[in-house]
A and B are shown apart, each in its own frame.
Chain A
Amino acid sequence: KAGVTQTPRYLIKTRGQQVTLSCSPISGHRSVSWYQQTPGQGLQFLFEYFSETQRNKGNFPGRFSGRQFSNSRSEMNVSTLELGDSALYLCASSITYNSPLHFGNGTRLTVT
């Protein structure tokens, strides 16, 4: 079975721009979660989707949004990028909530 795939792997953007990150979960997994990882804050939960519905949202500003498609693939969008948004963005899928997470290798976003 293919693992969780995240694209792109690396991204460099300028302040004020917006960015869209993509995640393809493991086949059969209906839950997709997004996390932001920085050296100072560690892994911070962004949001979780199940069957195209956002079930949970972390404490991030409204500039961070996401969606899930009928095939369980998910995207997250960050608008009006700030320097502090530079981080590793990780997507994880699971069969259902409360199941172990299977992470992709992330998208490294650098905002200049």
Chain B
Amino acid sequence: SQKIEQNSEALNIQEGKTATLTCNYTNYSPAYLQWYRQDPGRGPVFLLLIRENEKEKRKERLKVTFDTTLKQSLFHITASQPADSATYLCALPDPGNTGKLIFGQGTTLQVKP
């Protein structure tokens, strides 16, 4: 079955630095991968979608890469701010193309001023 791995340990960085979060997956080649942000007590918010034929995608201070050979996606936040502190989740479509989205456990990012 599909397995998604994100760093379970919290990532602590200093304001202004670049945060890099990792999402590794196994067992198949998804057509796309999504990243979401979740704040405590709230639902996840969609950030970016990257397709298998795209190496990189950017949105403001966010950048996502998708390496289908390594089966890995990297999520970067440049010039990080304390407001970026949250849990970031990666998600992939179910291998059976059912439309179901499978989420990783998420990585909590803490940006210190």
> At the interface with chain A, which of B19-27, B37-45, B58-66?
B37-45
Contact across chains for A100 and B34 when beta carbons are under 8 A apart = yes
B85 sits at the interface (CB 8 A): no
Majority SS at the chain A contact face: strand
Interface residue tally on B, bucketed by range: 20 to 34
Which A residues touch B45, using CB under 8 A?
103
Known interface pairs A100-B34, A100-B49; A45-B44 also in contact (CB < 8 Å): no
Which residues of chain A from 53 to 112 have any CB-CB distance to chain B below 8 Å in the complex?
A: 55-56, 58, 90, 92, 97-98, 100-106, 108
Which B residues touch A4, using CB under 8 A?
43
Which B residues touch A45, using CB under 8 A?
100-102
Interface residue tally on A, bucketed by range: 20 to 34
B78 sits at the interface (CB 8 A): no
Cα distance A56–B93 in the bound complex, in angstroms: 12
Which B residues touch A55, using CB under 8 A?
98-99
Can you offer 17 A-B residue contacts whose CB atoms are under 8 A? A4-B43, A42-B106, A43-B44, A55-B98, A55-B99, A58-B100, A90-B43, A92-B43, A97-B99, A98-B99, A100-B34, A100-B46, A100-B49, A102-B46, A103-B45, A104-B43, A105-B41
Known interface pairs A104-B43, A106-B43; A42-B105 also in contact (CB < 8 Å): yes
Contact across chains for A101 and B93 when beta carbons are under 8 A apart = no
